[in-house]
Amino acid sequence: MPEKKPFQQQTQQQLKDRSESAWRHYARLAIGQPRMGALLCYEFVTGLLGNFPGMLGYWLRQKFYPSILTSCGKKLIIGRNVTIRGGMKIEIGSNVSIDDNVVIDARGENGSIIIASGTLISRNTILRARNASIVIGEGSDIGANCILATDSTLEVGKNVLIAAYSYLCAGGNHSYDRNDIPIIQQGFISKGGVIVEDDVWIGSHTMIMDGVTISKGSIVGAHSLVNKDVAEGSIAYGKPAVRQSSRPGFGDKK
């Protein structure tokens, strides 16, 4: 049974709250908490170094961007114009590479993003956890222009390959049962989020819908719409995606 979350988008609620000053609203969005010292650090680091060119820019971001995150491992590579919001709720492991124009956005009191060691996030990709969590396992590769968005839970396992222009939508299903108030105020319906297990390959321009689990060792072909679970070791594609065969060694699993 889908779980209904009867609340407005938290960012909108905060913007409508007249009891807090504008800088506090901005601080909640930018760093995750209304702390002036942390906000000034964030403004200094991102404003001065976010677009700094060349090898020196990479080196400076490697040295100073960890200060705006909850935790960060060694040898972080961050490209130009990377946007980080809610850094106090973002954890990044070692040897992580984040390309130009990526957005990493952890919103709301319960928003969090964990990017494990050895992960590559290619340019123009968006990770957005809205009062929810995103976890990306070790050694995974997220292609260019992807969107991973959740207001439920979104888990990507180890050594997962997600090709360019893919969209993993874990939640975001608005309730619309009432007609006396706008849809935007009726909350969300969660089907359980999205889970992508270890050693999965998702082809380009693929959309993964809320409530789906893509099991270990599976392949999803390009331009697919996945609205049902994919069994372990399956090769599936289509709109909607249908299992076509199994990878060698996985047998005839359905």
Structural domains for the chain: 7-246 (2.160.10.10)
Please report how the helices 22-30 and 36-49 are oriented relative to each other, as an axis angle in degrees rounded to 10: 60
pLDDT recorded at residue 19: 67
What pLDDT is attached to residue 6? Answer: 44
d(CA 37, CA 220): 46
Here the tokens at position 217 are 């060792």
Two structure tokens written together for 226: 């996945």
d(CA 118, CA 99): 14
Residue 101 DSSP class: T
- CB distance 216 to 200 below 8 Å: yes
Average pLDDT per run of 10 along the chain, which is 254 residues long? 49 58 82 86 93 95 95 95 94 97 92 97 96 95 97 95 96 81 80 94 97 96 97 96 91 56
pLDDT at 35: 83
| DSSP state, residue 208 | E
User: Any idea what DSSP says for residue 239?
Assistant: T
CA-based nearest residue to 211, from 183, 171, 160, 165? 171
